Amino acid sequence: MTHSMTSVSIVVTERRRDAQGATSELSTRCVLELSPTLLSFTQPQGERVWLDFAAHRHVVSDPAGGTCTHQSLFASPYFRSIEGPNRAHIASVLEAGGADASMFHPVIVEHQLSMRDVRSSTKLRRAQNAGNLLSRLSSAFESKSAMSIEVATSANTTSYRWRDAPLCEVSLSGVPCSPAVLRAFVQYLRWAFGGHPLVLDDVLQNGTLPRSLTLFTLAIGEVYEVQLQIESVGHTAATAIEIPPEREAQDNTMALLRERAETALAARSNDQAARLSAATEAVRSGDALQGVLDFFMLTLESVVAMPPALAEALNACRDARVSALLSAMSPQSGPEAEQAIVTFEALRHGPPPNDHPALLCLEAAILKNLGDVRSAESLYVTAINANPLLTGAYHDLGDLALGKYDTGTAWRLWAIARKIAPEHRILGTVAEHEARMLKQYPEYFQ
């Protein structure tokens, strides 16, 4: 694909000092490339990153490992959005125990995650000339009560601090550039390192690319700061920015799941009507549990409604195992859910179809709601191994990954589900997550 491209050469220097006092410093050169819908940059560790805003892709190529991972652009912002409340909880625990929770203060968390809480009252407060005593006292009180970030400008730099913690220093000397280049530079800061959103917005308002910018207080439990110095800005009339194809380790579980799903999709025939007819006939002919589970498996694969003939056959069915299954599917309380697991275990250790993929998924859903993540994951994976087209199983595995803060895996599992049945109503929750990110944090997607 051909684009008009701009490149920015930046020297990135990372400085660290851990809790034991050990220090390290690493300087690398990053080339930031941008086109109308793509932003690409190198990380200090050597990985190359592409942010594809048109396709909502986040691509990371690791030359050392020989891999190239394609993830959703939503995964990282979503992680940050749920990590904020997690750190707020840690702060409350520390405060309750009388410990220092300053590094988990909302302003610091917003700075490190580069994301403001939707209820945030943080604001910038610019230093003013000394006035009368009343105004100085009023100003000091406002700063403390509003959790303001103090902004001070000297002859050469603008600095941003919260209480005693430095957040950012920006040189007043700048490189003339287009608004698009400045936005790309700020986007690079946001994705690669962090930076308080109010500070990054302020950098945008400057109108020029700062020759030097340093971010401080980027980590918990250690000193971590990053200095960026602009070397040059170049423009190319037409250059191809190529995103490499996905390459993963051969033993990568996600790659294996996706490959099996794609193979099954290629071989899938449009036989839904025949399968519904076979399920109905199974219920009528006395193999009721097989027929019911075959129907439920269809609903886990794609959008399908129960045909009247099957509903009529089920109403006339007196099979004890079917009755037990239907009664266990929608527990209304913890004790009912525990009893449902007993029922599912009995069915799975009884006569065929005791290993039916739909039966595994139905039990896994109850275990998921009970918080037994490991057992639920095991059953879902076993079901997918038997039928790689179970949209609902990929969706629920994604939910379980999300509960473990593994947002990258969650969106990759949901991507498989979307390939199988993009119109499946169960995937509506994924669309809701994405819509919320676009609404609340649009700066990550443009």
pLDDT (tens digit per residue) in 297-326: 999 999 999 999 999 999 999 999 999 999
- Kindly report whether the peptide bond that precedes residue 351 is cis, defined as omega within 30 degrees of 0: no
Report CA 327 to chain centroid distance, whole Å: 36
Which tokens belong to 420? 């199988």
Cβ–Cβ under 8 Å, residues 241 and 260: no
Per residue in 164-221, pLDDT tens?
899 999 999 999 999 999 999 999 999 999 999 999 999 999 889 999 999 999 998 8
| Pairwise CA distance, residues 227 & 236, whole Å | 27
Query: What integer pLDDT is reported at residue 94 of this predicted model?
Result: 95
Instruction: Determine the pLDDT at residue 124.
Output: 95
Is residue 300 a contact partner of residue 390, using CB atoms and an 8 Å limit?
yes
Per the confidence metrics, is the pTM higher than 0.85? yes
Distance, in Å, from the CA atom of 297 to the CA atom of 222, rounded to the nearest integer, reads 51
422: tokens are 């993009």
Among 140, 114, 110, 116, smallest CA distance to 128 is for 140
Split at pLDDT 50, 70, 90, the class of 374 is very high
In degrees, rounded to 5, the angle at the alpha carbon of residue 333 between the alpha carbons of residues 330 and 334 is 110
Domains and their CATH numbers in the chain: 48-240 (no CATH), 253-445 (1.25.40.10)
Query: With bands split at pLDDT 50, 70 and 90, how would you rate the model's confidence at 134?
Result: very low
Q: What is the H or E stretch that residue 228 is in?
A: strand 223-240
E strand or H helix at 29: strand 23-34
Radius of gyration of the chain (CA): 27
Backbone torsions φ then ψ of 126, nearest 5 degrees: -85, 140
Cβ contact 282:295 at 8 Å: no
Question: What is the mean predicted confidence (pLDDT) over 7-23?
Answer: 93
